[in-house]
Structure 1
Amino acid sequence: VFPVKDLLHTLLPIRGLQRDFSFDSFSKNLILPIRIIASLLKLRTLYKEFSPELVIGTGGYASALPLLMATMQKISTPIVLQEQNSFPGITTRWFAKKASLICVAFKIYDKRLKHKVSLTGNPIRNNILSGEKSLALKEYNLDEHKKTVFIFGGSQGSAFLNKAISRIINRFDNNTIQVLWQTGDNEYNNYKKYMSGSIKVTPFINDMASAYTLSDLVVCRSGALTLSEVTACGKPSILIPFAAAAGN
């Protein structure tokens, strides 16, 4: 999102802890300490140049180190946590005591958070309801007289969802239903062969407002921000949870 919006940003070479027992996961976990040290060094330089007055952590492993660096300053930088899920993540639980405020999307019953919590909901892009259906139909070359099913597995796609959809996609190639299917960049080459008059396959959709506005049904992963956007747009949906999600 940041490169598209041309916003100043810094990328950290950090990855999350792999929790399965495969050799690939073991290899990634083995070099995790090196990634943590490299990220902390990069953050130290950034903090000296930038001198933030407030640090907002949105949960997940990517925000843990910036929050840690904020608390390690000679004069501690205030931190605000934004918990997007109904179950507080590890990062939120770790930094709850040091946070000035914890903004939550859902009512959370956790003794560690109760004294600093504000029920704010999740922030969503301010143009999510501004899509124009006529322009969207032209952009994706879709038929205004057909019902449209919008399928996506998040910005990076979902291998599980794509595979499941590929087994039934030909059933949608008819006179009453059409499909807009975002596969994700890594999966696109595997599924672009299903492109037809009624089935539009694309690696990535930047203008989600247009995709939502032409949708009669949304089939997607049930990520926190996705749920917030689908709810705001008032779209009927079929949601596929991620089985390995924390607290599932």
Structure 2
Amino acid sequence: MKTIVLTGGGTAGHVTPNIALIPSLREDGWDIKYIGSYNGMEKELITRENIPYYGISSGKLRRYLSKENLKDPFKVMKGYFEACRLLKKIKPQVVFSKGGFVTVPVVLAARTLGIPVVIHESDMTPGLANKIAMRGAKTVCVNFEETLKYVGDKGVLTGSPIRKELLTGDKEKAYRLCGFKQIKPVLLMMGGSSGANTINVALREALPELLKRFNIIHICGKGNLDEAKLNVEGYKQFEYANAELADLFAATDMMLSRAGANALAEIVALNIPSLLVPLSAAASRGDQILNAKAMAQKGYCKVLFEEDLTADSLVSNIKELDMHKESYIQAMQKDTKISGIQKVMKEIQKVMKEIQKHS
């Protein structure tokens, strides 16, 4: 049986594309294993999929000064030797890496052992982990055409794998889950797996005005529920959405979102008009700003920068998005309908055929 090791972690965006691939990999006859960090969020998400999970040590690749930077090279080195032992034991034909700091020791170990690696980069510009890992990769799948110039001859434009179940949600089920009594357009706010505090605050301040026009679903992040607003009619909060996310998407007419690449791929696949508030450059490497600008240039969305975010600016931008939502939908519908799953699977199969040809 042919075996593949998936790796990726740190955020949901580094895990859910791997999960999206699992059904197609199974259909294609792959035995699937997963290597992640000892106790990262990826462990919980992957074990739900009944995939054998192996934890390794991993250090965080920081771009800022911290005492932890002194320890992390040793954590990465420990993870490298652990990954070598695991890969020798598992004997995969291919490693597929979605990114995140835990993937660095896995990809380096695969390179040492001569195991071909396929990497997926979702953002406009490669993150530090993928920059390091690319040196040992056979193929680098990318989400944006603009990314190809950063990855050289190894780059292939595939888009991002999207879980098929997200396309088959039940709108009526979402209405019952949220307890909405009035039929209004639904605005969904999603800030990523850890939430987005500045957007949470602005949205809650804007509720009196926005609720006149919309029912609002607010995925606010773990620990960010506002107890005082649990019974506000037309406003439903979730810390995190997993099984119910497809239904929530089916009910959604417009989105307010961060600009993480995985969320953007889902927005485009579902043709949902969106207002993006990318994470500021002060709090990140600026990848979300580049992602959002690329989306806006294609006519897929509106962008409101975090520095300009207030309750008033949020309301005015949501109203403008609502007025022109059909143009955003039409722009996204022109995008390719060949799924990212199919394109990534093609690259994995291509690597496997090369292995078989030389064996």
TM-score by length of 2: 0.61
SS in 2 for 1:128: helix
SS in 2 for 1:225: helix
- 1:159-198 matches, cutoff 5 A: 159-174=197-212, 176-188=213-225, 191-195=226-230, 196-198=232-234
* Aligned-partner Cα distance in 2 for 1:11–1:164: 38
> Contact (CA 8 Å) 1:93, 1:112: kept in 2 or not?
no
SS in 1 for 2:47: helix
**Is it true that 1:6 corresponds to 2:42 in the alignment?**
no
- Change in Cα spacing, 1:67 to 1:87, as seen in structure 2 (3 Å) is same
Q: 2:256 aligns with which of 219, 227, 235?
A: 219
Q: CA deviation at 1:53?
A: 1.4
SS in 2 for 1:205: coil
Percent identity, aligned pairs only, is 23
- Change in Cα spacing, 1:31 to 1:163, as seen in structure 2 (3 Å) is farther
- 1:114-125 matches, cutoff 5 A: 114-125=152-163
Q: 2:104 aligns with which of 55, 58, 64?
A: 64
* Aligned-partner Cα distance in 2 for 1:47–1:109: 30
Name the counterpart of 1:199: 235
Q: CA deviation at 1:185?
A: 1.4
Where structure 2 has 5 or more consecutive residues not aligned to the other structure, the ranges are: 1-44, 291-359
* Aligned-partner Cα distance in 2 for 1:97–1:32: 20
Deviates more, 1:4-13 or 1:48-57: 4-13
Deviates more, 1:1-10 or 1:233-242: 1-10
Deviates more, 1:45-54 or 1:61-70: 45-54
| Equivalent position amino acid for 2:221 in 1 | G
Q: 2:142 aligns with which of 92, 104, 123?
A: 104
SS in 2 for 1:127: helix
Name the counterpart of 1:208: 245
Q: CA deviation at 1:229?
A: 0.4
Deviates more, 1:78-87 or 1:48-57: 48-57
Q: CA deviation at 1:111?
A: 5.6
* Aligned-partner Cα distance in 2 for 1:144–1:130: 23
Q: 1:85 aligns with which of 94, 99, 123?
A: 123
> Contact (CA 8 Å) 1:101, 1:118: kept in 2 or not?
yes
Instruction: Give the length in aligned residue pairs.
Output: 239
* Aligned-partner Cα distance in 2 for 1:120–1:96: 16
| Equivalent position amino acid for 1:77 in 2 | I
1:42-94 residue CA offsets vs partner (Å, 9 max, x unmatched)? 32332232122111122232221110110122xx1111111111212333333
| Equivalent position amino acid for 1:162 in 2 | N
* Aligned-partner Cα distance in 2 for 1:11–1:157: 25
| Equivalent position amino acid for 1:28 in 2 | E
Deviates more, 1:138-147 or 1:122-131: 138-147
Q: 2:268 aligns with which of 203, 226, 231?
A: 231
- Change in Cα spacing, 1:120 to 1:109, as seen in structure 2 (3 Å) is closer
Deviates more, 1:228-237 or 1:35-44: 35-44
- Change in Cα spacing, 1:168 to 1:232, as seen in structure 2 (3 Å) is same
1:177-219 residue CA offsets vs partner (Å, 9 max, x unmatched)? 221111111323xx23222221111111113211111111110
Between Structure 1 and Structure 2, the one with more helix by share is 2
Q: 1:36 aligns with which of 76, 91, 104?
A: 76
* Aligned-partner Cα distance in 2 for 1:15–1:170: 44
- Change in Cα spacing, 1:166 to 1:13, as seen in structure 2 (3 Å) is farther
> Contact (CA 8 Å) 1:179, 1:200: kept in 2 or not?
yes
- 1:12-23 matches, cutoff 5 A: 12-21=56-65
* Aligned-partner Cα distance in 2 for 1:45–1:110: 33
Q: 1:240 aligns with which of 269, 277, 283?
A: 277
- The list of structure 1 runs, each at least 4 consecutive aligned residues, that deviate by more than 6 angstroms after superposition, is none
SS in 2 for 1:61: coil
> Contact (CA 8 Å) 1:133, 1:210: kept in 2 or not?
yes
| Equivalent position amino acid for 1:18 in 2 | R
* Aligned-partner Cα distance in 2 for 1:20–1:95: 20
Q: CA deviation at 1:144?
A: 5.5
| Equivalent position amino acid for 2:52 in 1 | L
